[in-house]
Amino acid sequence: MTITISVYRYQPDSDSGSTSSASASKPYMQTFEVEAAPGMMLREALLAIKEQDETFAFRHSCGEGVCGSDGVNANGTNCLACITPVADLKQPIQVRPLPGRPVIRDLVVDMTQFYEQYRAVEPYLIRKDPLPEQEIRQSPEDRDKLDGLYECILCGCCSTACPSFWWNPDKFHGPAALLQSWRFLADSRDQATEERLDALEGPYKLFRCHSIMNCVEVCPKGLNPTKAIGQIKELMLEQSV
Amino acid sequence: MPAARSIPHRHFDALIIGAGGAGLNAALRLAEADLRVAVVSKVFPTRSHTVAAQGGVNAALANVLPDNWHWHMFDTIKGSDYLGDQDAIETMCREAIPTVYELEHAGVPFSRLDNGRIYQRAFGGQSQNFGGEQAARTCAAADRTGHAILHTLYQQNLRAKTHFFDEHFAVDLIRDDEGAAIGALVLDIESGEPLIIEAKTTLLATGGYGQVFRTNTNAFINTGDGMAMALRAGVPLQDMEFYQFHPTGVAGKGMLITEATRGEGGYLLNGEGERFMERYAPHALDLASRDVVSRSILSEIRAGRGCGPQKDYVLLKVDHLGADVVHQRLPGITDICRVFLGIDPAKEPIPVFPTAHYAMGGIPTDRHARVVAPARHGPEEVVPGLYAAGECACVSVHGANRLGGNSLLDILVFGRAAGADILAYVAEHPNHRPMRDEHIEPAVARLARWERQGDGERVADVKAELRRLMEDHCGVFREQATMTEGVEKLKALRERVEGVRLRDQSQTFNTARIEALELDNLVDVGMATLMSALHRDESRGAHSRVDHTERDDERWMKHSLYSRDGDRMDYKPVRTKPLTVDSFPPKPRVY
């Protein structure tokens, strides 16, 4: 059985040996026929396209949904190509780069601002007390609070599905970074709650979230950034009274 | 390709190639000491393959059962089939304890016991009291331990302000006339521009090369880049015949199903519903060493006792553990089964098959992660300024077979050791050695080679053939005739690589060019593997010869060294003397 896939093409330099006659400087959709195998994932279909045309570029690596390289937009929804079965996608499948980010080439987008927002929330454990000789104790209940937070793979599916991030990618942290912010606020070992909350003040960084919940819908790991954002807001309120 | 002299240069105290656990743990130590550190990675750091490690990291914390680093040391040496270097193994097992506490302090979200301590589970090849009852030594963050560790190390490097060159591909090392490592030529994948990084010290931390086998548990990026760079720089590779096939890859697909499934109480069944490990490892059963379990599975299948219509896999049963344990302790495995097999492991057994997983061999180093190679004064002379750590290195702590939970430990301990030694080296050698154009030219030529145009074979076709060849001629069971044929075929294939042409000559994010450079690397490490395997006519650890089924300590208790120049094999003795305790002499290895 063959399947039909249309992929977004954009080749910024002109000397690539693409088989297409379309102008190199303008983006276009190119259709490929790919032989489908049972259980085939979208990543394998994209690899089959690359077999036909080596100039086709996309990021991918682990093939099992843990490295977060192959976030793409398939039929209008952000997903990880390696864990999205082609059988679940209506044909012809339309594969585009993650929305709202500058395109470098084909499905490869520039994630610089996404990573900048991640760095901006100081995503690391901050301890002020002297460290014990052994582990810092943490109860299983406190550890459970990190489930649903630490598993983020930074694929960017959420933030690039968020209208608030599309409008203000330089000012609004976006769902991925805010999920990380809550991951450290929720960690019983972290001792920088006040500083973390103070840094989130203002109309943009946190408060541009309007609970549209696109992030929750697309997260390939089943995480819930909207809920995390709500919990940050609640904690802010608690601390201010 | 611009001429060597027109390529821009950047200067750092330390260059680290690879941003997995080994590279990032070294970088963290150096950045915290205010060295100028450059980390070059062909992917964004959290995409490195450490992220996929599942089960955990070994340390004798004794949080669950009595334990002791000396017992850990014994298990590791026995697991290595007595080929591991005992000084390095002592270092690793001692350092494991502070290393895990340090990681916890850095923020790793380890699973916890009721008393708030780090959760530890049983893993294969672990014992109390030098071969007694099963130990519980593997510290875990559910079954996502590698992910938890890699993200934490990256985060701490952000705090320490390490300088990252994300999505830069290292083309080759640069060495001066005395053979010292003085930097590397790298390619900015996004712009397609080359860049020279001059460094007082260079650490290779590029991981494994599982992509040389058709079916494997490894990421697409695991192409042996650092190992091949070392070979081209004249450094031999050590013990490359020892390649681990993990017993439980998803049958027909290859994704890893962690040993933690068996550590939590899962077991294997053949087509007749028997717990067949009783026959092969009556004491340790399903928690025997990986080489033993992989061979047992294949023996069952060869005897016609496989499962399924083709009788070509076995089943891994965890459903008796209950949905709570499966979903809480093994959430990642639950996801993999759901997505790739359409089953819930809490309800149905998982079809599994031994799958190419891990390189015990690699770039020879001492226990300070300094690269050592044969030179005038013996087989282990330090290459000035050059370090290697993690899967690309061979310290050797894994010898002929690695125990589960020791690879995350290896990358952390020896990544850290590399950092410590680099600090001392840079203090003693504060100046960059001069770099001249002729030092750079071989690396530039390698890059320029892929600019040749015209008709020729395609990278993808040659790569596919290489992967099939390695699987057919250098798998779990090996013998003289098939390996001799394999070497001949691989030599012919290596010749053909010269005629391969790249159609895509564009600059911006040209992934075809990266895959071409990776093909060069895969061919070199594939040859190192096959040649080393062909010459070792005994069975030890993961290297299992049907024509030489016994271990031969008299002739073969020594490390193999493969050099690219003339495909030459050399050997050097195993370091059997630990640092502070008595040696563990070789004994028959039963589980």
Where do the domains of chain A lie?
2-109, 112-240
The band of A100, judged by pLDDT with boundaries at 50, 70 and 90, is very high
State how far residue B548 is from chain A, nearest Cα, in angstroms: 36
Res. A171: pLDDT tops 60? yes
Q: What is the pLDDT of residue A25?
A: 74
| Contact check, Cβ <8 Å, B52/A131 | no
Instruction: State how far the Cα of A56 lies from the Cα of A35, in Å rounded to an integer.
Output: 17
Query: In terms of DSSP bridges, do strands A93-96 and A108-109 run parallel, antiparallel, or are they unpaired?
Result: unpaired
By Cβ distance, the residue of B105, B335, B509 closest to A131 is: B105
Exposed/middle/buried for residue B282 (C-beta within 10 Å: 0-12, 13-18, 19+)? exposed
| Contact check, Cβ <8 Å, A140/B340 | no
Please name the residues between 68 and 127 in chain A that touch chain B, using a CB distance below 8 Å. Answer: 68-69, 83, 104-106, 108, 111, 115, 119, 122-125, 127
Instruction: Specify which residues B363 forms β-bridges with.
Output: B393
Instruction: State how far the Cα of A141 lies from the Cα of A139, in Å rounded to an integer.
Output: 5
Q: What is the pLDDT of residue A240?
A: 84
By Cβ distance, the residue of A54, A57, A189 closest to B509 is: A57
A37–B contact, CB cutoff 8 A: no
Q: What is the pLDDT of residue B524?
A: 98
Residue-wise pLDDT for A49-62, tens only, equals 999 999 999 999 99
State how far residue B218 is from chain A, nearest Cα, in angstroms: 7
By Cβ distance, the residue of A13, A17, A138 closest to B507 is: A13
Three-state SS string over B223-288 comes to: CCHHHHHHHHCCCCEECCCCEEEEEEEECCCCCECCCHHHHCCCEEECCCCCCCHHHHCCCCHHHC
Helix then strand count (H, E) for chain B reads: 16, 22
| Contact check, Cβ <8 Å, B220/A131 | no
The band of A1, judged by pLDDT with boundaries at 50, 70 and 90, is confident
Instruction: State how far the Cα of B23 lies from the Cα of B19, in Å rounded to an integer.
Output: 5
For chain B, list residues with pLDDT below 70: 1
Mutate to test the interface with B, among A103, A112, A134, A144 (most CBs of B within 10 A): A134
Instruction: Specify which residues A72 forms β-bridges with.
Output: A79
> Which sequence positions of B are flagged as catalytic?
290
| Contact check, Cβ <8 Å, B49/A67 | yes
Res. A17: pLDDT tops 60? no
| Contact check, Cβ <8 Å, A62/B220 | yes
Residues of B in contact with A13 (CB under 8 A): 506-508
State how far residue B155 is from chain A, nearest Cα, in angstroms: 5
**Mean pLDDT rounded to a whole number for chain B:** 97
Q: What is the pLDDT of residue A22?
A: 46
Residues composing chain B: 591
CATH 3.40.605.10 fits A2-109, yes or no: no
Query: A52: closest CA among A74, A30, A69, A29?
Result: A30
- The arithmetic mean of pLDDT across residues A32-42, rounded, is 94
Residue-wise pLDDT for A117-146, tens only, equals 999 999 999 999 999 999 999 999 999 999
| Contact check, Cβ <8 Å, A57/B116 | no
- The arithmetic mean of pLDDT across residues A110-114, rounded, is 98
Is the separation of the CB atoms in A129 and A166 below 8 Å?
no
Res. A15: pLDDT tops 90? no
Residue-wise pLDDT for B380-420, tens only, equals 999 999 999 999 999 999 999 999 999 999 999 999 999 99
Neighbouring CB atoms inside 10 A of B481's CB total 9
A131–B contact, CB cutoff 8 A: yes
Whether the predicted model's global pTM rises above the 0.90 cut: yes
Res. A21: pLDDT tops 50? no
Residues of B in contact with A42 (CB under 8 A): none
The tally of CA atoms less than 13 A away on the side-chain side of residue B87 is 11
Class of A112-240 per CATH? Answer: mainly alpha
| Contact check, Cβ <8 Å, A66/B51 | yes
Q: What is the pLDDT of residue B2?
A: 72
By Cβ distance, the residue of B51, B101, B508 closest to A67 is: B51
Secondary structure of residue A117 in the 3-state scheme: helix
Residues of B in contact with A105 (CB under 8 A): 508-509
A181–B contact, CB cutoff 8 A: no
State how far residue A10 is from chain B, nearest Cα, in angstroms: 11
Chain A residue with minimal CA distance to B336?
A64
Residue-wise pLDDT for B269-317, tens only, equals 999 999 999 999 999 999 999 999 999 999 999 999 999 999 999 999 9
| Contact check, Cβ <8 Å, B219/A11 | no
Token pair in block for residue B207: 């991981």
| Contact check, Cβ <8 Å, A66/B147 | yes
Phi then psi for B303, rounded to 5 degrees?
-85, 10
| Contact check, Cβ <8 Å, B509/A61 | no
Task: Give all domains of chain B, ordered by start, each with its CATH number.
Answer: 244-358 (3.90.700.10)
